[in-house]
Amino acid sequence: MSRASKLTLGEGDMRVNAAVALLIISAAFSGCFEEDDGFQWPEPTSSECELELDELGCTTIIEGSETPHRSLINPLTGNQWILYLNGYVKSWDGQTLDWAVDLSEVVNRCHMEQGLLGMALEADFENTGTVLISYIEDGTCEGPNQSDLILASIKIDEMDTFDLDTLTVLLRVNQPYRNHNGGHLIHAGDNNFLWGIGDGGSSDDPLLNGQNSSNPLGTMYYVKFEDNTVSPAVDTGAGDPYVLHHGLRNPWRFDLDPDGGLWIADVGQACWEEVNLVNLTVPANLGWSDREGFYEFADDGKCRPSQPEVGPNYTDPVVVYPHENGNCSITGGFWMDWGPEILQEGFLYGDFCTGSIWVLREQSGVWSEEYIGTSGGMIVGFGKSLSDDLLVFHWTGQVVLIG
């Protein structure tokens, strides 16, 4: 049996508050899902954090009704920045949350997948105070989507808060629909950054963006940041010079391992969720929307895993899992070279709907997943705590520490 504890609200209060929060959010955005053909957002779950490993326990360290999904350590203070989809960035010192910035007036939340999506520190952050952020720009919720995906820079002021007057748009990507934005952002060394971009949305990739490397949609962008501008980090010969990898549907999370491997958790449509491993700088085609997982994409929604595999020009996933037992959408993920020792030396990922968590490790040349347990909520992201333990961010606002 695993241990479970909570620092604030009781179990019943947490479940009621989580359910009410998601129902309110769902009602607010109920008119914006016409582009999500065939997908129904699940009702909020109410379960305990239950881990398979006796060495690990769960503690809910932050309660709330907003949606935290990403965190970074501020090297100037040692505090933790926590990103929220609604545009908030808050600073956590282990006891209290303080404001770092409110970007809600510049980000769009017409759709559950829109908002403040990513943040990464410039290499020389200690001297420049510059961070890069990724978000969907504010715009009307009426009619077709008119809000672009934005990559921008912003500086930290002497009060250790974000100075909105320094916000500078570096790149913008037209989003034909409101979903599948991607938006995750990580520093990849030498002031190069990886920026994940979804296929533009709707379902079935109607504009065939996934297999078009001349288009930013459905790709991993590789950008160099210098003098508050960006340029292509490498020349890959793609039609769009920023494109490094393509054939992605919605790379919500990804991470680098110490050997230069890029781990990408790509959200599937109706059948398969997948974890991909590619060399950081060797361009790869991950297959979408010619295929989903290992198999030819079935746009009729009928999953046929026995059908022939397609195409020698695609990079196979390392592992896939089906939409069974309540699983619905993959949430990556970190390469674990930190945190509890029992979680290290593998790629950690989870499922949004069930809260399940796995670690993928190589054993005798074969990659296999180990089930860690369930976090007790709908997982939208992971983070590293101030104590070097694992954080799990839930859709309904809770931050759970596993250590």
Per residue in 30-51, pLDDT (tens digit) is 333 345 545 566 776 658 999 9
pLDDT band at 173 (very low <50, low <70, confident <90, very high): very high
Choose between 323 and 26: higher pLDDT.
323
pLDDT of residue 36: 53
The stretch 162-173 carries a mean pLDDT of 98
Q: Which residue's structure tokens are 């604030």?
A: 8
Sheet strands (E) in 203-317: 219-226, 229-232, 243-246, 253-256, 261-266, 272-279, 291-292, 295-296
**Measured distance CA(8)–CA(346) in Å, rounded:** 32
Helix (H, G, I), strand (E, B) or coil at 200: coil
Does some domain include residue 168? Answer: yes
Does some domain include residue 32? Answer: no
Contact of 45 with 52, CB cutoff 8 Å: no
What are the angstrom distances between the C-alpha of 334 and each of 92, 96, 381, 382? Answer: 21, 26, 10, 8
**In this structure, what CATH number is given to the domain that contains residue 361?**
2.120.10.30
Does some domain include residue 7? Answer: no
Name the token pair of 69.
Answer: 């999904």
**Measured distance CA(230)–CA(170) in Å, rounded:** 7
The stretch 366-391 carries a mean pLDDT of 97
Does some domain include residue 46? Answer: no
The answer, yes or no, to whether residue 285 has pLDDT greater than 60, is: yes
Give the Cβ contact number of residue 138 at 10 Å: 17
Residue 194 pairs with which residues in a beta bridge? 186, 222
Per residue in 229-271, pLDDT (tens digit) is 999 999 888 899 999 999 999 999 999 999 999 999 999 999 9
pLDDT of residue 45: 60
Does some domain include residue 161? Answer: yes
Does some domain include residue 70? Answer: yes
Per residue in 75-114, pLDDT (tens digit) is 999 999 999 999 999 999 999 999 999 999 999 999 999 9
Does some domain include residue 18? Answer: no
Strand 57-62 relative to strand 80-84, pairing: unpaired
> Which of 324, 329, 336 lies closest to 350 in space, CA to CA?
329
Contact of 256 with 188, CB cutoff 8 Å: yes
The answer, yes or no, to whether residue 402 has pLDDT greater than 50, is: yes
pLDDT of residue 120: 99
Domain that holds residue 358: 54-402
Q: Say how many domains are in the chain.
A: 1
The answer, yes or no, to whether residue 123 has pLDDT greater than 90, is: yes
Amino acid code (one letter) for 253: R
pLDDT band at 202 (very low <50, low <70, confident <90, very high): very high
Does some domain include residue 16? Answer: no
pLDDT of residue 28: 35
| Residue 32 DSSP class | G
Helix (H, G, I), strand (E, B) or coil at 145: coil
**Measured distance CA(326)–CA(93) in Å, rounded:** 35
**Measured distance CA(234)–CA(255) in Å, rounded:** 19
pLDDT of residue 11: 31
Rounded mean pLDDT of the chain?
A: 90
The answer, yes or no, to whether residue 296 has pLDDT greater than 80, is: yes
Q: Which residues contact 34 (CB under 8 A, 6 or more apart)?
A: none
| Residue 107 DSSP class | B
pLDDT of residue 46: 59
pLDDT of residue 301: 83
Q: DSSP string of 136-198?
A: EBP---SSS----EEEEEEEE-TTSSEEEEEEEEEEEE--SSSS--EEEEEE-STTEEEEEE-
Q: How far is CA 170 from the centre of its chain?
A: 21
The stretch 274-294 carries a mean pLDDT of 96
